[in-house]
Amino acid sequence: MDTLLVRRVESQLAQLPVALALRLPGGQRLGPPAAKVMLSFHDWTALATLAAGQVGRLAEDIVENRVELQGRMRDVMAIARGLLPGAPVNSDTHWWTQVMRRAKSLASHTPHKDAQQVQFHYDVSDDFYALWLDRRRVYSCAYFRDPGMSLAQAQEAKLDHICRKLMLRPGEKFLDVGAGWGGLLLWAAERYGVTATGITLSKNQHAHVQRLIREKGLEGRVRMELRDYRDLDESAAFDKIASVGMFEHVGQANMQAYFGKMFGLLKPGGLVMNHGITASNIVPGELGAGMGEFIGKYIFPGGELLHVSHVLREMATAGLEAVDVENLRPHYARTLWAWSDNLEERVDQAAQVLSATSSPDNAGRILRAYRLYLAGCAMCFEQGWICLHQILATRPDGQLQTGSLNGAQSAYPFNREYMYAGDGGTVH
């Protein structure tokens, strides 16, 4: 037994906001008898990881069953926050680090690798996601316009919030880049009367939305394609474009090409909404304490976050004019806690669902990873370590008389009243 290590850990336990007990490799128990959370260690290396505050690496030990976890996820995350030596926000500004990060980004985001990475995450199991998402399977930040809203109501409020911001009108051509399970795509077509096209790299999502289109009789008005955004034909310009929870997969090195593509696909005077997770740190990087590595290994391989200022710069470079920026960070914290709570209520069912498409060992690994991921991200958004921004932009048409104000050069009215007043121009 490493006596110094044990003493260090005992000191940490006494300072945690939630009581934690540990069972050491030799069977010794540390911590209060009525602890809310129990960690059982099978080797001393994992205990040293805990002592160092490397919560991401400790999470990996839990996923790989080197450490067994018992306790509520909300209590587990309170303990994780207490173990961290500080905010896990990367601040490495060394030029060589940034050069290497950009080179890695380029290598990680070829069309082939992006397809593999998206399918790794989204094609785990549709039935698994259905256990903890709302009935529309909207897998992005909800909008709790009213604090008393349920998750399902807040997701519908988010869908409508985006459609209102885009000023969708019947007959317009609308593109949803990274359309997921079709929540926004179908909402826009059914409620706002647009002709909608969605794209995804997920085979499961594509099949699901194709089925919904047939069931709803929307053939001819709604189309879902299994396609990379880079392969879209710019000659078929769209009146309005939305990209929700997608540009996190694009990569820093491809941002100019991504927003350049949005510019090319958008009609002059049109509107584009970019809704996605952003970093709290101005310098590109990932969460420290092993947290970024954990997400990259088990959840989102290839995911990269940029500060909103970086995103705005890339949009401007592409010729898009940002006209409205809204931070929904605490909304995503609440969304993630709702997903986490839903999964915690259905852990046994989730294990059965995952075992239907994977080996028992791998099913257990996936379930442990997602339990930690959802709760961990909820904590990160609450703490302000990562953010969520909706950025509405235009492609100015160069005509000073376009719009309600001289010089608007787009459909945007340059006030926010239209986003909240009336019925949002819906059709029923």
Active site residues per annotation: 377
Please tell me the distance from the alpha carbon of residue 253 to that of residue 103, in angstroms, as a whole number. 8
Contact 159, 184 (CB under 8 A): yes
Please tell me the distance from the alpha carbon of residue 216 to that of residue 419, in angstroms, as a whole number. 28
Mode of pairing for the β-strands spanning 195-200 and 173-177: parallel
DSSP letters along 361-392, please? Answer: HHHHHHHHHHHHHHHHHHHHHHHTSEEEEEEE
Taken as a whole, the chain contains a residue count of 428
Under the phi-then-psi rule, with left for phi > 0, alpha for psi from -120 to 50, and beta for the rest, what region is 274?
Answer: beta
CA-nearest of 300, 294, 378, 391 to 337 is 378
> For residue 215, which phi and psi values (nearest 5 degrees)?
-60, -35
CA-nearest of 169, 212, 235 to 423 is 169
Q: How many CB atoms lie within 10 A of CB 317?
A: 13
Structure tokens at 402: 């376009």
Contact 318, 263 (CB under 8 A): yes
DSSP letters along 55-81, please? Answer: HHHHHHHHHTTSEEEES-HHHHHHHHH
CA-nearest of 187, 185, 180, 209 to 196 is 185
Bridge partner list, 199 = 177, 225
Please list the alpha-helical segments (H only) found in 278-359: 291-298, 308-317, 329-345, 347-355
User: Burial letters for 348-369: b for 16+ Cβ neighbours within 10 Å, e otherwise?
Assistant: eebbebbbeebeeeebbbbbbb
